[in-house]
């Protein structure tokens, strides 16, 4: 699928939110600007925010839905199932994934079924470890980047591993034999209070998610 075909058939951009009221409007604005002239929709799946994120998203997104807080992976799959276009792009809502790379991701779907936008700098040791192990198996340098473009058929139908921060979606595509590619980008500075938690908590959660992903690859 080329970027020309995607421009004809359309792109669904899916993001999950949890207390992202300050960022969601700007994310949507930048996605709209990047995809102007291309049929697209923006889907926001809110994970039971307490700051009014969903209300803002409903004003600016094509579709904004709230759900019980179940984590990022289930939120992304939930949104992908609502997508009406054959290309699905997933992106974080915290503005750490530059939407301006979406056309390049989609363009590479002419060769691959799933394309990752991998960061050139991984801030946590757990992410670097996952990149050297799980990432190597899957052929990407940033296993936990959820800035991805999928052909819709490459997305999992269901999840069994619990919260894996998007890892299970990549594992499922790998196990089913879909072709995985990547681009790389230099990430902007991280915000001071990331959604996943502080340094120790984030590393522990990512390590647990990595164990789950290893088990999913094996069985």
Percent of the chain surpassing pLDDT 90:
86
Residue 87, helix vs strand vs coil: strand
Q: What is the pLDDT of residue 197?
A: 57
Joined together, the tokens standing for residue 84 give 């009406």
In the predicted model, what is the mean pLDDT of residues 177-201?
A: 81
How confident is the model over 128-144, as a mean pLDDT? Answer: 97
Domain boundaries, the chain: 3-218
Q: What is the pLDDT of residues 9-65, one digit of tens each?
A: 899 999 999 999 999 999 999 999 999 999 999 999 999 999 999 999 999 999 999
Cβ neighbourhood burial of 17 (10 Å; 0-12, 13-18, 19+): buried
Burial level of 77, CB count in 10 A (0-12/13-18/19+)?
buried
The Cα 183–Cα 168 span in angstroms is 20
Mean pLDDT over the full length of the chain: 93
Just give the CATH number of 3-218: 3.90.550.10
Determine the Cα angle at 138 with ends 171 and 28, to 5°: 70
Residue 14 tokens read as 């899916």
In angstroms, rounded to a whole number, what is the distance separating the alpha carbons of residues 207 and 24? 28
């Amino acid at each position: 699928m080329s970027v020309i075909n995607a421009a004809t058939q359309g792109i669904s951009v899916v993001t999950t939110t949890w207390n992202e009221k300050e960022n969601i409007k700007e994310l949507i604005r930048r996605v709209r600007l990047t995809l102007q002239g291309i049929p697209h929709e923006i889907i926001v799946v809110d994970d039971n925010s307490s700051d009014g994120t969903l209300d803002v998203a409903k004003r600016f997104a094509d579709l904004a839905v709230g759900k019980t807080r179940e984590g990022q992976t289930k939120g992304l799959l939930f949104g992908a199932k609502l997508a009406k276009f054959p290309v699905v792009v997933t992106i974080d809502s915290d503005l750490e994934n530059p939407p301006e790379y979406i056309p390049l991701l989609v363009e590479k779907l002419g060769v691959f079924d799933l394309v990752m936008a991998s960061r050139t700098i991984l801030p946590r040791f757990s992410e670097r470890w996952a990149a050297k192990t799980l990432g190597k198996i899957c052929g990407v340098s940033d296993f936990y980047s959820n800035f991805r473009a999928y052909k819709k058929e490459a997305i999992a139908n269901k999840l069994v591993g619990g919260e894996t921060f998007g890892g299970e979606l990549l594992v499922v595509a790998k196990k089913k034999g879909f072709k995985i590619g990547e681009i790389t980008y230099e990430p902007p500075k991280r915000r001071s209070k990331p959604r996943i938690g502080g340094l120790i908590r984030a590393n522990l959660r990512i390590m647990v998610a990595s164990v789950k992903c290893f088990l999913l690859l094996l069985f």
